[in-house]
Amino acid sequence: MSSDKEPVKTICPYCGVGCGIQVQPGDEPGDVQFMPWGDAPVNEGRICIKGGAATEVVDHEDRLTDPLLRDDDGEFREATWDEAYEYIIDELERIRDEYGPDAMGFFASSKVMNEENYLLQKLARRYGTNNVDNCTRMCHASTVWALRTSLGAGAMTNSMRDLREECDLFWIQGANPGEQHPIANSQYFRQAVLDGATVIQVDPHANKTTRSFQIDDTERHQHLQLNPGTDIPLLNIVLKTILEHHEENPEDGWVDEEFIAERTEGFDHLKETLADFDKEAAAEECGLPLEEIELAAEKYATADNAAIFTGMGMSQHACGVDNVQNEINLALITGNLGRAGTGVNPLRGQNNVQGTCDVGAMPNVLPGYQLVDDDEARESVEDVWGFSVPDEPGLTNVEISYEAGDSVKGLYVMGENPVMSEPDANSVADRLADLEFMVVQDIFMTETAEFADVILPATTWAERGGTVTNTDRRVQRMRGVGNVHENTKHDLEIVSEVGKRLFEEKVFDFDDPEVVFEELRQVCPSYHGMTYDLLGEEGLHWPCYELGDEGDPFLYEEEFDTESGLGHIEGVEHTPPAETPDDEYPLILTTARLEEHYNTGTMSTRSPTLNRQTPENFVDVHPEDAERYGIEDGEYVRLKSRRGEITLEAHVTDDTKEGVVWTTPHFAAASANRLTNHVLDERAKIPEYKAAAAEIDVDIEPADRAAGDD
Ligand code: SF4
């Protein structure tokens, strides 16, 4: 393809690292190709397999190109945009009149831009409900909860750049950056480790992160391969080891007494919680020798600058908030917060999951994490919007799905795929089928769209402009090459049009993302100092309160952003997973993502390059378990839980622990989420994807192989 057209600088649509790439338009609208962006601020031209293949789906043959309406006979037919809008408006009005506004749910999307998510949550609130949420509920809701409550902001405390330059010890727990944030791992973390930093990985599964750190000096790499769901006992061993050593050797400074005295509260509670804690029994529960955990504790406590990286292995548990709180405890008692190279750093999944939360697409907060039940904050937003916002938190997306057909009658889905992404997916599909009305706007026919009444064809990431916020709070501009398919529309146009038709008000009269951003910065204090011009090509880290602020690469230098200004320490006790192995389901099932695929697979499984390496799901089985069950490597097995069954290829490997089976959620026919448990963390309402009881059947019919079933 040769073209005289200029490439556009934009951001990779996959993970939260936020790598800059270019899209080169060709002579025809669908001719778009990836081009590197040599001096992109985050990745400096480097790219992983997903970023390099991102343009492959822009003109994919499966693209939705026209609105679809479900006929009386249950089949979809093409419709005009006017017909589709009229149907949507009629149904939204009917549901509000018959059942009230809380009978609707709205799903924003971490795959779309800040401006579009901002408008969707504004639409929900103008409709009269706080039932709006996004996929952070499924990845880091518990992390956001713990960080916001105990430190002040639900985001990475530090930036990738300051970590590369200043961090001496990387404590990576329940995260797999080698696979899920490849450029952050190779360009920032691994570089620091090659320059001498130590890395401690805490994960039940050996993975590309484990292998990427197998550097010459193995003293500097420790992998604590714990049993799934034992992160609290492990961290309590670490905390108690540090406290015990400090009591006998205060001169070593393992505990930062000055930091605790001046900048924290709750230390006594932690000490009380650990007073009778039995380290030996806990180590047994973790499935690890006590000395290995104590050695890791020593390494963390003696590093000059130690940073914690936390991922979904921590957050996706019914005790997810407590898991992350214990990481915060570790950072606070050792004074590893508030300066470069330290902190508690969640590696965010989707390219704009951070921004989707920042702009208020959650049921309990407005833009800038202002609580809906805080009168002063809510009124300040209402003043700008010109309408009232409900003052009670709404339902989360998992709760909305569970209420579908009962208290929730209608659902507006922008770019999400709950039938694939939520736990116990078979019953999610059943419940969505009970809705009276569902609209889905997306780029492909998804497993969720199959249940919709109306489907709106949206443009892809490469076709439109806006902003996204990456994992270290850097807000960056995306730029598009224009519509590939004439009759598709940008999400912003669609939501704006629905708002205008529904309310006949100026409050949704937007046709330009920059104008939306200008309103967003008025109601989101941490974005207030940003404009499109100031974002330029480098972007800006929030918080950026005033025009001219450069944004903070690390947070809390002087004080925490809590009401008292202090960091909150709180001892936590072990809560085992809701399901533990028994006679019927004697294995522990745990799940995670692959480097070459992404979340529900809507884009990545349609990409030839990404599919080539791993075209279907598989399950890792430990050699001892394989021998006991009589499983050969490469054989197809049936994996079962109390919620469903899937058929997939067994990989016999000691990457997983004996008694633990490991698989992925990406492939519709055999998605792990047909098996996962829907039990929720009480506060953050995140599901426990990481631990469920499971069993394997070996005797299956050849016809079932790779077909998947439920
Ligand atoms: Fe895209 Fe993430 Fe890969 Fe960067 S690391 S190219 S943002 S998927």
Q: Strand 306-310 relative to strand 169-173: parallel, antiparallel, unpaired?
A: parallel
Task: Report the topology of domain 8-57.
Answer: N-terminal domain of TfIIb (2.20.25)
* Ligand 1 atom at shortest distance from the alpha carbon of 46: 6
Express each pLDDT in 344-378 by its tens digit: 999 887 889 899 999 999 999 999 999 999 999 99
CA end-to-end span of the chain: 44
User: What distance in Å separates the CA atoms of residue 331 and residue 309, rounded to the nearest whole number?
Assistant: 11
Residue of 10, 34, 42, 50 to mutate, ligand 1, most atoms within 8 A of C-beta: 50
Q: What's the confidence (pLDDT) of residue 47?
A: 94
Please name the residue ranges forming H helices in 154-230: 160-166, 177-180, 182-183, 190-194, 208-212
Q: Above pLDDT 70, what percent of the chain?
A: 98
Q: Is the pLDDT of residue 706 over 70?
A: no
Express each pLDDT in 463-506 by its tens digit: 999 999 999 899 999 999 999 999 999 999 999 999 999 997 78
* Ligand 1 atom at shortest distance from the alpha carbon of 51: 6
**Residue 708 banded pLDDT, cuts 50, 70, 90:** very low
Helix-strand-coil percent breakdown of the chain, rounded to 5?
40, 20, 45
Q: How large is the average pLDDT for residues 414-438?
A: 91
Q: How large is the average pLDDT for residues 43-70?
A: 94
* Ligand 1 atom at shortest distance from the alpha carbon of 42: 4
Least-confidence region, from 45-49, 418-422, 578-582, 599-603? 599-603
Which CATH architecture does the domain made up of 587-707 adopt? Beta Barrel (2.40)
Express each pLDDT in 208-234 by its tens digit: 899 888 766 567 899 999 999 999 999
The number of angstroms, rounded, from the C-alpha of 162 to the middle of its chain's C-alpha atoms is: 22
The CATH class of the 68-138+351-456+488-511 domain is alpha beta
Q: What's the confidence (pLDDT) of residue 85?
A: 98
Where do the domains of the chain lie? 8-57, 68-138+351-456+488-511, 141-346, 587-707
Q: What's the confidence (pLDDT) of residue 701?
A: 66
Q: What's the confidence (pLDDT) of residue 599?
A: 73
Q: How large is the average pLDDT for residues 535-541?
A: 95
User: What distance in Å separates the CA atoms of residue 491 and residue 466, rounded to the nearest whole number?
Assistant: 11
Q: How large is the average pLDDT for residues 140-166?
A: 92
* Ligand 1 atom at shortest distance from the alpha carbon of 11: 7
The answer to whether 117 and 109 are in contact (CB under 8 A) is yes
Express each pLDDT in 681-705 by its tens digit: 999 899 898 899 999 998 776 555 5
Q: Angle at which helices 279-286 and 231-248 pack, to 10 degrees?
A: 150
Q: Bridge partners of 458?
A: 489
Handedness of CA 578, 681, 316, 269 (dihedral sign): negative
- Please tell me what DSSP assigns to residue 477: E
Q: Is the pLDDT of residue 710 over 50?
A: no
Q: Angle at which helices 231-248 and 290-302 pack, to 10 degrees?
A: 60
Which CATH architecture does the domain made up of 141-346 adopt? 3-Layer(aba) Sandwich (3.40)
Express each pLDDT in 614-658 by its tens digit: 888 899 999 999 999 999 999 999 999 999 999 999 999 999 999
Residue 677 CA, ligand 1 centroid: distance in Å: 29
Using CA positions, which residue lies closest to atom 6 of ligand 1?
51
Q: Is the pLDDT of residue 598 over 90?
A: no
Express each pLDDT in 259-316 by its tens digit: 999 999 999 999 999 999 999 999 999 999 999 999 999 999 999 999 999 998 999 9
Phi, psi of 597 (to 5 degrees): -130, 170
Q: Is the pLDDT of residue 335 over 70?
A: yes
Q: What's the confidence (pLDDT) of residue 105?
A: 98
What's the whole-number average pLDDT of the chain? 93
**Residue 342 banded pLDDT, cuts 50, 70, 90:** very high
Residue 37 CA, ligand 1 centroid: distance in Å: 13
Residue 44 CA, ligand 1 centroid: distance in Å: 12
Q: What's the confidence (pLDDT) of residue 216?
A: 60
User: What distance in Å separates the CA atoms of residue 259 and residue 263, rounded to the nearest whole number?
Assistant: 5
Q: What's the confidence (pLDDT) of residue 709?
A: 42
Question: What residue ranges line ligand 1, CB within 6 angstroms?
Answer: 12, 14-15, 17-19, 43, 47-48, 50-51, 181-183
SS3 443: coil
Residue 286 CA, ligand 1 centroid: distance in Å: 33
Q: What's the confidence (pLDDT) of residue 2?
A: 55
Residue of 181, 350, 474, 599 to mutate, ligand 1, most atoms within 8 A of C-beta: 181
